[in-house]
Amino acid sequence: MAEDDVNYASVVFKSNQRQRSEVKTEETVYDEVKVQNQPTEQTPVTNASAEFLPDKKSNSRCRHYQQLACCLGTLCIILVLGIIAVGVYHVTLIYENDETELNQLKENQTTLNAVNRNLTKLNNKLSLDNEDLKRNQTNLTLQMNNLTQAFKVLENEVTNLTKENQNLKEKNEQLKTQNKELEAEKKNLTEQIQNLTTSWNELNVSRAQWSIDAYCPKINDNNNRKCNACQAGWQFNSSCYATNNANYDQRKTWEEAQKDCRGKISDLAVAINEEEMKIISEKSWKNNENKGYWIGLRVEDGKWKWLDGRNLTNNSWIDQLPSAGHCAISLQNQGFKSVSCDAKNQWICKKKALSV
């Protein structure tokens, strides 16, 4: 709010010229009253934070209104003193002036009273405006505090988000590194698979050729071949059997015997029926140590089970109860016997015969 100069006009009271006595016209001139507000020093606007501008503007307005209210109050006091002085003056001149002067003074007094009342009203209005401004200032202060708190909360959230963003960037870099490593590992595995595929194909060709030579050997070194149901060294009885009469130092445990049979594309012998049970028993030739041959029968979960997952249904084949860690051997014409799976014995392998 700009500061304006307040000027009051000179007040001149003239005496009535129709006085009976010829006296020179008297003119009473009251000194000119001029109240000029000194311009307040304006503080240059600094590069303060934008969040404090509302407070400065509000404080500036309050100071302007307070100064104006003080000026108006001073003016009222001056006017009241002037009114009192005019009244005293009229009392002293009432006996010297006629009724016209008295009326003139009364009119002037009425005018001054009206001006005084207007100024009083204006002062009251300015006081009310000042109270409103104070309330607005209080509300603005509360809003400013709320905004400051909200700004701090947002600042904390931004800080947390920045940290999370940094963590995500670090994780992203780690994932990129892991991805590169996995890509390299994938490439190596792909190459290994290709190499293994090539080796497997070559192995299959070799095994196929071996199978042909094993089941269909050449006759008299010429191209003619004769195919058999079992490969050389295996005996045919509805299936192919191989009795491994290993020396004492080369005999194996049950697991080792099964591994040897798997290397020959077979398993330890299992009996599907009585006929196969007799075949296995007949092939278990009695040796000097009177030890039998490993077959594909062992104890699992407290039961006798064949390698193909079937339970032993004919308990007459072995009269011993299942004991943990025991496997079965076959003795010639004596059936099956339960011994520890860690014992060293000979073994019988079995696989399907070739249809010729």
C-alpha to C-alpha distance for 193 and 190, rounded to whole angstroms: 5
The pLDDT of residue 207 is: 55
The pLDDT of residue 199 is: 65
Asked if residue 294 lies in contact with residue 268, where contact means CB atoms within 8 angstroms, the answer is yes
C-alpha to C-alpha distance for 240 and 231, rounded to whole angstroms: 8
The pLDDT of residue 234 is: 79
The pLDDT of residue 1 is: 41
Q: What own/partner pairs with CB < 8 Å and gap ≥ 24 does 53-62 have?
A: 54/140, 54/144, 55/137, 55/140, 55/141, 55/144, 58/133, 58/136, 58/137, 58/140, 59/137, 60/1, 61/1, 61/133, 62/130, 62/133, 62/134, 62/137
**pLDDT tens series, the chain, 356 aa:** 444 444 444 444 444 444 444 434 444 444 444 444 444 444 444 444 444 455 666 777 788 788 888 888 888 889 888 888 888 777 776 666 667 777 788 888 999 999 999 999 999 999 999 999 999 999 999 999 999 999 999 999 999 999 999 999 999 999 999 999 998 888 888 888 877 876 665 555 555 545 566 666 666 666 666 676 777 777 777 788 888 888 888 899 999 999 999 988 889 989 888 888 888 877 766 554 557 889 999 999 889 999 988 988 888 888 788 889 999 998 877 788 899 999 999 898 988 877 65
The pLDDT of residue 24 is: 42
The pLDDT of residue 318 is: 85
The pLDDT of residue 285 is: 63
DSSP-assigned beta bridge partners for residue 240: 236, 351
The pLDDT of residue 25 is: 41
Question: Please, is 34 exposed, middle or buried when counting C-beta atoms within 10 Å of its C-beta (0-12, 13-18, 19+)?
Answer: exposed
The pLDDT of residue 119 is: 93
At the top level of CATH, the class of 238-352 is alpha beta
Residues found in the chain:
356
The pLDDT of residue 32 is: 44
The pLDDT of residue 96 is: 64
The pLDDT of residue 336 is: 87
Which of 344, 348, 241 minimizes the C-alpha distance to 297? 348
Mark out the alpha helices in 235-330 (DSSP H runs): 254-263, 274-283
The pLDDT of residue 296 is: 92
Q: Quote the tokens at residue 84.
A: 């009192």
Which of 44, 42, 51 minimizes the C-alpha distance to 141? 51
- Model confidence, pTM: 0.41
The pLDDT of residue 68 is: 84
